[in-house]
């Protein structure tokens, strides 16, 4: 029988923290799910920890180790393996409330059956361990029903959120990562789906996050700078989706910014000199910031 959810965890050297995901899943009131883990080249004892979890779990666990390729490549691979109707990325250092999956299931059931085919899934709020909301509430900028991720992007809703996506739609809206780069903004796939599908914007905290010093969230600029061609693909899509002057400016400046990060200028850039100058200034700021962080 098909599970309702594939809970997917990409992990890299998080053996000491991944129990948070396992404990959260063990405590879920909703039971129709599988746990899929792709270990992206860990050198710690993650595999042994998962094997121990498998002896205790009340749900199926699939564990796969691969050479390090980055989070979005792991997501692309996981989409081929997922059995669930929904695909939920659950990072290996996070946890969630015990009724999170039940709330997701109930919210989907609230949608009229005839309208479900125009929705890609549900997005909810995250909080820090202190209880402080990450970013802002959806209700400040978006209605619960009828809007898309493109509208979320254009209204510039601040803060990290937790995304539940229909697996069938995510499979045809993957991350178009430029080899051998390893990073692409998660919004890339969501914006592509947002061009044709709506999202339920749930104003409820279901995920608890603790941002690690070596995590993607705290090193976002460095990751984008190391994958500049993939970053440019994202900002080209962002420019296509931009519905106001603010988002158009942000997209054009970032296009120019990561163009200068690319050591091989194998792509053309149709921007006026003004945007190139501003982008170059951001590029210089990135370089200074990254050098500072290394202690150079």
| Model pLDDT for residues 197-214, shown as the tens digit of each residue | 999 999 999 999 998 877
- Lowest mean pLDDT segment, chosen from 54-58, 68-72, 264-268, 271-275: 264-268
Q: 5 pairs with which residues across the strands?
A: 33, 86
Q: Which two tokens stand for residue 222?
A: 């460095």
Please give the structure tokens belonging to residue 157: 């809703």
CB of 255 closer than 8 Å to CB of 269? yes
| Contact present, 176 and 233 (Cβ < 8 Å) | yes
pLDDT digits (tens, 9 = 90+) for 240-270: 999 999 999 999 999 999 999 997 655 668 7
Annotate the chain with three-state secondary structure.
CCCCEEEEEEECCCCCCCHHHHHHHHCCCCCCEEEEEEECCCCCCHHHHHHHHHCCCCCCEEEEECCCCCHHHHHHHHHHHCCCCEEEECCCCCEECCCHHHHHHHHHHHCCHHHHHHEEEEEEEEECCCCCECCCCHHHCCCCCCCEHHHHHHCCCCCCEEEEEEHHHHHCCCCCCCCCCCCCCCHHHHHHHHCCCEEEEEEEEEEECCCCCCCCHHHHHHHHHHCHHHHHHHHHHHHHHCCCHHHHHHHHHHHHHHHHHCCCCCCCCCCCHHHHHHHHHHHHHHHHHHHHHHCC
Domain layout of the chain by residue ranges? 5-215, 228-294
Q: Token pair of 48, please?
A: 């042994």
pLDDT for 149 equals 97
Range of lowest pLDDT (26-30, 122-126, 250-254, 292-296): 292-296
* pTM, rounded to two decimals: 0.94
Tens digit of each residue's pLDDT (9 = 90 or more) over 110-168: 999 999 999 999 999 999 999 999 999 999 999 999 999 999 999 999 999 999 999 99
**5-215: in CATH 3.90.550.10:** yes
Nearest to 190 by CA among 241, 126, 117: 241
**For position 296, what pLDDT does the model report?**
38
Summarised one tens digit per residue, pLDDT across range 227-241 is 999 999 999 999 999
pLDDT grade, residue 215 (50/70/90)? Answer: low
Q: Which tens digit of pLDDT belongs to each residue from 1-22?
A: 899 999 999 999 999 999 999 9
């Amino acid at each position: 029988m098909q599970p309702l959810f594939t809970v997917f965890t990409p992990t890299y050297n998080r053996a000491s923290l991944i129990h948070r995901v396992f404990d959260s899943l063990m405590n879920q009131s909703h039971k129709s799910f599988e746990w899929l883990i792709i270990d992206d080249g860990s050198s710690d004892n993650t595999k042994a920890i998962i094997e121990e979890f498998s002896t205790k779990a009340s749900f199926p666990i699939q564990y796969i180790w691969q050479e390090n390729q980055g989070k979005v490549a792991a997501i692309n691979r996981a989409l081929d393996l997922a059995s669930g109707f929904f695909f939920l990325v659950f990072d290996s250092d996070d946890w969630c409330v015990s009724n999170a999956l039940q709330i997701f299931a109930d919210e989907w059931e609230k949608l009229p059956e005839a309208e479900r085919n125009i929705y890609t899934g549900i997005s909810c709020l995250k909080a820090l361990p202190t209880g402080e909301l990450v970013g802002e509430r959806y209700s400040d900028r978006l209605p619960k029903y009828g809007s898309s991720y493109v509208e979320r992007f254009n209204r510039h809703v601040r803060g990290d959120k937790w995304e539940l996506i229909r697996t069938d739609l995510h499979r045809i809206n993957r991350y178009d990562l430029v080899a051998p780069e390893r990073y692409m903004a998660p919004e890339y796939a969501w914006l592509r789906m947002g061009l044709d599908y709506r999202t339920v914007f749930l104003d409820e905290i279901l995920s608890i996050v603790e941002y690690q010093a070596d995590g993607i969230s705290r090193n976002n600029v460095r990751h984008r700078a190391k994958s500049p061609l993939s970053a440019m693909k994202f900002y080209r899509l962002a420019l296509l989706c931009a519905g106001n002057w603010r988002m158009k400016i942000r997209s054009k400046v970032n296009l120019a910014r990561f163009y200068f990060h690319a050591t091989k200028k194998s792509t053309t850039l149709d921007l006026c000199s003004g945007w190139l100058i501003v982008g170059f200034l951001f590029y210089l700021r990135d370089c200074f910031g990254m050098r500072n962080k290394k202690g150079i």
